[in-house]
Amino acid sequence: MPTTQITESPVDSPRPTAPSTPLLLIMAAAVAFTAANLYYYQPLLPALRDGLALSDNLLSLVPFATQVGYAVAILFISPLGDIIPRRTLIAALSLLLTCALAMQASAGCALLLIAGTFLMGLGANITQQLIPLAASLSSPQQRGRVLGTLMSGLTLGILLSRVLSGSIAEHLGWRAVYWAAAAAALGWGLLLWRVLPSESTRTTTMRYPALITSMLTLFRQHALLRVSAMTGALWFAAFNAVWASLSLHLTSAPLNLDLQQAGLFGFAGMAGIIGAKASGRWVTSLGTWRTICLALMVLLAGTAVLWSFQYSLAGLLLGIVLIDLGVFAAQVPNQVRVFAIDPSAQSRLNAVYMLFYYLGASAGAIAGVHLMTTYGWQGIMALTAALCSGAILLHVAMRNTDPSVKPTST
């Protein structure tokens, strides 16, 4: 049966090993500061609700617009990394991100806030240009370590976002959070323009419409891509359902924490750094499938702890640690196996995978806020447990799609 041409080898491209250590650290830090923009809102939801007099329905659109904007960018912007230099894309996205954050900071009504939030999600696609760029600069043997470093940066960004936004909002108001983020986005855009390598070759000569439709062909052709995308969507939906509603739970009776105290729960995200770094090493020895299995077991354990100790600060802290540890330990091996499917289509493979990932995130976030306002913490935990169990069952059922579960035969 005829197929769309989707694999074209780059011409005269040198064999990659890994980015230099300084460049890798700069890229990881840029991932941290870019990804942080997607999570600033989480401790701010009570302040946004009160400051702009938002109804519960409008309030739930803030996390929804964030994740949908990011998903739209993944679908329509991420694949461009296979046909134009990612350095150029990152510069344009930095400008968009700066303007969107300024729009959020100056918003006087719900419409402007939600529109700015959506545009911010588009601009934050910088992260999804840096990750495949790092993968393309790395050999298969080094890819787990390199992606583990970038995922550590991602985790640190999520951690910093919650702590910084909660602290700044408590003392300077929620608008100051977005003004500071806009200044940071501009600064990082200028730095990346100076330090990122200029790519002289393209991995494909496709035109844009064919590039977009080829992602569907990739999805149909590769069972491993389908399994990775769907399991990732399930566990990230669970993750976002918890985090999108956590500040509402912590600032309500009987816990009654303030915004700064709720934001400090972001320090529990340090566990994600440990998970990302450790799984980047485990991939080589255990294989991707077993590493993901272990991570999902940790995620399910975290859900059980959060469900059992909903009014215990120590119990909530432990549960959040396990949730973050499991999610980011699963993310690294999942991306390693996705990037290995076809080196000439890494931007598109990443786009398909991350599209599912953040569609899951948007569904989890909006469902989390809705369930929290309707059924409370028990409703959140029931949803999270169902999503985690679904990811585990699908991963186990489709184990034969992952080449790491059985030795190659000749």
Confidence (pLDDT) at 407? 52
CB neighbour list of residue 111: distance below 8 Å, 6 or more residues apart: none
- The closest of 92, 49, 101 to 73, measured between CA atoms, is 92
Question: Mean pLDDT, consecutive 10-residue segments, the chain of 410 residues?
Answer: 39 58 93 92 85 83 85 89 88 97 92 93 94 83 82 81 84 92 96 85 73 92 95 94 87 82 73 77 84 94 94 91 90 89 86 87 85 89 95 94 66
Q: How deeply is 340 buried, as exposed, middle or buried, from its count of CB atoms within 10 A (0-12, 13-18, 19+)?
A: middle
Q: How deeply is 228 buried, as exposed, middle or buried, from its count of CB atoms within 10 A (0-12, 13-18, 19+)?
A: buried
CA gap 205, 343 in Å, rounded: 15
CATH of domain 21-195+205-403: 1.20.1250.20
Confidence (pLDDT) at 362? 79
Contact between 157 and 124 (Cβ < 8 Å): no
Q: What are phi and psi of 17, to 5 degrees?
A: -115, -70
Domain residue spans of the chain: 21-195+205-403
SS3 287: coil
Contact between 268 and 324 (Cβ < 8 Å): yes
> What pTM did the predictor assign?
0.74
The DSSP secondary structure of 347-406, one letter per residue, reads HHHHHHHHHHHHHHHHHHHHHHHHHHHHH-HHHHHHHHHHHHHHHHHHHHHTGGGSGGGS
